[in-house]
Every structure is written in C-alpha cells, then in structure tokens.
Amino acid sequence: MIEIIPAIDIIEGKCVRLQQGEYSTKIIYDENPLEVAKIFEDAGLKRLHIVDLEGAKENTVINIKILEKIASETNLVIDFGGGIKSEDDLEKVFSSGASFATIGSLAVKEPSLFKSWVTRYGSDRIIMGADEKDYKLAISGWTNVTDVDLFDFIEDNYNAGVKYILCTDIAKDGMLMGSSISLYKKLKEKFHDLNIIASGGITKIDEIEELNRLKLHGVIIGKAIYEGMISLEELSAFVSGNNIK
C-alpha cells in the first residue's frame, strides 16, 4: 500500500507552505513544527517529509535543530531535504536522525558526486528529488527551470542504482488543484521497478486512492492537510485499510 507522508516545510523555525515554490507566498501554519509532527504521529502516520526551505535557498542545511528535535521526540521515519550540498551536510542530516536524505539540485549539478553518495551511503537511504515543470527539471529551490529532460535524468540515475525518487510537479505544488496523475502513470510505466513518491497538488483522498492503484511507493501531502481539504481522520482510515476503494 502507498505510504502517506505528511510534509513540514520550515522557514525561520516555523511550519509554512508556499505556492509553486515562491517564497513571497509564504503562509505560516504553526510556530512549532514538533507539535505538528506529534499530531501526525498521533493520527497513526509513520512517515514525515521535512523540507528546509531556507537551506534550499542558501545552499546549505540550516534548520538541522528541528530535525533533531522531531527525530528524538517522535518515532516517525523522517526524510529530510533542502540545502544538502556537501558531504558534511549529508552527515549532519543522518546523524541528526533522518532515515533518508532527499537530494535534488546536486544530482543535476554534480551528478558524479551524487552517484558516489548513492554508492557510499546506500540506495536505501538516498531519495533523488526530481522536481519538474513541463517535463524539465527545476533546481535551486525551484528558482531555475533547466533544459534537462525529466525522463532522461531519471533513467540515467536509475541505471546508476537509484531506487527512490520524489517527483514534484511544481506547477501544482501548493495550488490545491489536484495531482499530476498522468505524470505518475507515465513514470510508473517507464520505470516500473522504481519507488516513486508523488508530490504536489494533492487535494482529496480520492487522488491518494488513485495513486495507490498505480502502485506508487508514497505520496506527500502538505497544504491539503493544513487547509482542511484532507482530514487526519481520513488519512488514519486510509493507513489502517478502512478507506481503500
């Protein structure tokens, strides 16, 4: 069954959400990310996706203390992304309690270094971020849409041993307009052995059920939870198997 992965995006130590990655659209949802994480855990969710938005912008991990607190005070399995640009950053993320590191921009800018990390730390610990717009990769906190083709990029890294990808359609992210189901269908058809995590635009539980039928590995849900479009009760029922159609 698809894993439900709630998201906590961090700016200045606070839980926020953006629209399409634009920092000017910041909305603060909670002053205490730890309390938000505990609410997710109390609802029966097992995973958590933390994004250091300041880190993504500044090209180095910044909000590491929040990762440490959530990892030490919950039993959530955490993946952490945003600003991982050096081996020192990566070591900090793992030593601070993350089970997975999500790495996107560096995989595009320094592919050899990224692939060496996959080999050294293991493909079970590295999630490759593949953020896209019109099938072209977006990097550096989505401030730069490149000419790199999404499918070519994934195929190259898949052949190099990558097992997990987190693919976000940035045109959908934070817009509450629905997920790019057709995108994930294409990815699953081409890379059927890859563990694909969908992200961006999830608005209702029916979309999660559809992504589950595609046999995706996971789905990240952020703004839909904070805006009350999808309730924690619905997610709890889904996780327990009582809401799968």
Q: Could you say which of 52, 79, 89, 131 is catalytic?
A: 131
Q: Of 232, 245, 242, whose CA–CA distance to 4 is shortest?
A: 232
Q: Tell me how far apart the alpha carbons of residues 48 and 78 are, in angstroms, rounded to a whole number.
A: 5
Q: What is the amino acid identity at position 133?
A: K
Q: Tell me how far apart the alpha carbons of residues 117 and 94 are, in angstroms, rounded to a whole number.
A: 13
Based on the residue annotation, tell me whether 9 is a catalytic residue of this protein.
yes
CA 95 to chain centre: 19
Q: Tell me how far apart the alpha carbons of residues 62 and 159 are, in angstroms, rounded to a whole number.
A: 32
Q: What is the amino acid identity at position 33?
A: P
* Run of H or E residues at 172: none
Question: What letters, b where the CB count within 10 A reaches 16 and e where it falls short, cover 179-216?
Answer: bbeebbeebbeebeebbbbbbbbbbebebbebbbeeeb
The DSSP 8-state label assigned to residue 76 in this structure reads -
What residues act catalytically?
A: 9, 131
